[in-house]
Amino acid sequence: MNQLDALRQWTTVVADTGDFRQLAQFKPQDATTNPSLILKAVQKPEYRPLLDEALVRHKGKPMDEIIDRLLVRFGCEILSVVPGRVSTEVDARLSFDTAATVARAERIVALYRAEGIDVEKRLLIKIASTWEGIEAARQLEAQGVHTNLTLLFSFAQAVACGAAGVQLISPFVGRIYDWYKKSAGAAWDEAANAGANDPGVKSVRQIFNYYKRHGIATEVMGASFRNTGQIAALAGCDLLTISPDLLAELAASDAPLAHALDAQAARALDLPKVELNEAAFRYAHNEDAMATEKLAEGIRAFAADAVKLEKLMQSI
């Protein structure tokens, strides 16, 4: 049994890509996308027709609507390959505007419905885990629209998402690892911070254990991996979203892979319940320098790629 098949014993495998032609070989259950992945995909010759088609079919419509239609087109193509769900992201520039996030999400949902997609079962609306984004997710979940809260770096974000009843969260393992490695500089010891000791892995394990201990139904999906060691250390997490390159590495390896996270064991842990109102959330998140920096950086990066996609489409 290769490592990818071994991982599937305990964890739902999700593909982290906009390149839907790569998906079939790995047989993921779900797939996730983001603005950076879609921007990367549409610059490949094999995906350029989708971009051209969106521009021709929807000429004269506002650019933000054309982009949403392009995202939905990619999402529908992905859903023709995966049996489960696709995550489609709301424009990161709306990350601090609850009403605008809800409105954009509702439009994306309507576009999927128009394509005949069962959105309740097959779509997750991806939103940055700001306080405003979490509140938008709360409102959307109340409508039966399921959400994936992304750019999640702090325990406070996870607590707020669980309290809001969001469907799924995506803690960013690799970006947490990146921050601690950069912060340590020459003092960083790679071997001492690998596997279960990786700071990104530890963050996800803390969230997973807390959710299972308190019966929080929100799914935990580790994301943004730098190596297969991080993935192996989270075997047993609800879901893991993995890039095609790392999926290929797992499929090519027959090294042993153990069950690392155990929901049943987590239920016996002594973990106090945490309650956060808006002020407490903002303070707790602000106290985490890594999370504060990486959330802001992530929003800026996704927003920048959204602008690049707009400019690309305007230039055609």
Among 61, 121, 126, 202, the active-site one is: 126
- Which of the four pLDDT bands, split at 50, 70 and 90, describes residue 249? very high
Worst-scoring range by mean pLDDT, 152-156, 257-261, 310-314?
Answer: 310-314
Residue 34 CA: distances (Å) to CA of 17, 86, 212, 292: 8, 11, 28, 20
Q: What are the helix (H) ranges across the chain?
A: 3-7, 35-42, 48-57, 63-79, 98-114, 119-122, 131-142, 155-164, 173-184, 199-213, 228-232, 244-252, 263-266, 278-287, 289-314
pLDDT digits (tens, 9 = 90+) for 143-154: 999 999 999 999
**pLDDT for residue 316 is more than 90:** no
**CATH code of domain 3-314:** 3.20.20.70
Kind of pairing between the strands at 147-152 and 168-171: parallel
Instruction: Determine the pLDDT at residue 228.
Output: 98
Q: Where are the domains of the chain?
A: 3-314
Tell me the average pLDDT across 29-43: 91
pLDDT digits (tens, 9 = 90+) for 191-221: 999 999 999 999 999 999 999 999 999 999 9
Give the single-character DSSP code of 169. E
126 is catalytic: yes
Instruction: Determine the pLDDT at residue 22.
Output: 87
Instruction: Determine the pLDDT at residue 49.
Output: 92
